[in-house]
Amino acid sequence: MEDSIKQIKDYAYWVRFAAIASTSVALLLVVIKLYAWLITDSSAMLASTTDSMLDLFASLMNVIILKFALAPADDEHKFGHGKAESLAGLIQAAFVLGSASLLLFHGVDRIITPQPIVQSQVGIWVTILAIVLTLVLVIFQRFVIKKTGSVVISADALHYQSDLFLNLGVLAAIILSQGYWLQADGVFTILVGVFLIFGAGKIVWISVYHLMDHELSAQELQQIKEIILKHDQALGMHDLRTRQAGQHRFIQFHLELDDNLSLLEAHSIGEGIENEITQALAPCEVFIHHDPTSVVQRQLAQNEKCQ
């Protein structure tokens, strides 16, 4: 139990930390990119500024939603609030698609009517600063994802990973637009927009995967079965069902035991198995239904007759 509580607290700490960090970086990027766009009049810089504004809004939404998602279970939400993370992922996907649409629009417009970029040095230095800040944030987010597996932070990290490509594209576009290739400003903007669309599809798939109460991975299911069946007095198990909401796993199954065990003995066996599963897959909740083996055999015989 103590390990499970520690896991939950660590998860909440790192996810909140990552959400606040991304919000702070996004706010700083919006300010410096807006300044650079006003100075340079670059279409790619405008697209980058718009993308950062959407990232800022999405990150603020994450902070709000995570406050709800990380709240403990209550009378109205007996299984906790973990699915709010997946809903946040869908909201982020909508922001990514909106950002991609704006990038495509501005990119096509700048290809049709190419314009030279003025005061390109400002745009170059601001973009380099944006790349450095974004790279540091992405490295930190990957660290948090490795520790927590959070859907929200994974979705947020995709934004900023795409921003790395976007900023590199802006940097190349500014340089190439200085008499080498005027349409570069628009071409790089479109390429990043297409990349964002594919990224949004990935976020949607991951979020829906969790919202649809998908089973745990095959490796985790096998681990659960091994823990149950290695117990000397466990004669079998059936009807294993699992799902995940946020960081919480929910596991339920029927445990087959000898008919002659007392209620106290059956409870003790189930409690021992539950503790082992909880330690292996924390944080999780385990629900065990104890079945006398003779009842299981009788049910199997009846099922065979019905078939």
The pLDDT confidence band at residue 247, using thresholds 50, 70 and 90, is: low
Beta bridge partners of 288: 253
Residue 27 to residue 60: CA distance in whole angstroms? 10
Specify the pTM.
0.57
Q: Which pair of structure tokens corresponds to residue 251?
A: 């596991």
Residues 278-291: what's their mean pLDDT? 85
Q: Give Cα 255 to chain centroid, integer Å.
A: 33
Residue 165 to residue 162: CA distance in whole angstroms? 5
The pLDDT confidence band at residue 69, using thresholds 50, 70 and 90, is: low
Q: Which pair of structure tokens corresponds to residue 239?
A: 């009807």
Q: Is the pLDDT of residue 132 over 70?
A: yes
- What lies within 8 Å, CB to CB, of 201 at 6+ separation is 93
Question: Identity (one letter) of the amino acid at 198?
Answer: F
Average pLDDT, the chain: 80
Residue 241 to residue 168: CA distance in whole angstroms? 46
- Residue whose C-alpha is closest to residue 108's, from 44, 41, 198, 36: 44
Using the 8-state DSSP alphabet, how is residue 142 labeled? Answer: H
Locate all alpha helices (DSSP H) within 82-217, ordered by sequence: 84-112, 120-148, 151-176, 184-211
Question: Do 123 and 191 contact (CB within 8 A), yes or no?
Answer: no
What pLDDT, on a 0 to 100 scale, did the predictor assign at position 42?
78
Q: Is the pLDDT of residue 107 over 70?
A: yes
Largest CA distance in the chain: 89
Residue 165 to residue 139: CA distance in whole angstroms? 15
What pLDDT, on a 0 to 100 scale, did the predictor assign at position 70?
58
Question: Do 159 and 92 contact (CB within 8 A), yes or no?
Answer: yes
Q: What is the dihedral of CA 187, 191, 196, 197, to 10 degrees?
A: 100
- Domains of the chain (ranges, CATH numbers): 2-211 (1.20.1510.10), 218-306 (3.30.70.1350)
Residues 204-228: what's their mean pLDDT? 82
- Residue whose C-alpha is closest to residue 189's, from 120, 101, 130: 101
According to the per-residue pLDDT averaged within each range, which of 13-17, 79-83, 104-108, 142-146 is highest?
Answer: 142-146
Beta bridge partners of 244: 249
Question: Do 289 and 255 contact (CB within 8 A), yes or no?
Answer: yes
Q: Is the pLDDT of residue 80 over 80?
A: no
Residues 247-267: what's their mean pLDDT? 88
Q: Which pair of structure tokens corresponds to residue 241?
A: 């069902």
Residue identified by tokens 């300044």 is 35
Q: Is the pLDDT of residue 139 over 90?
A: yes
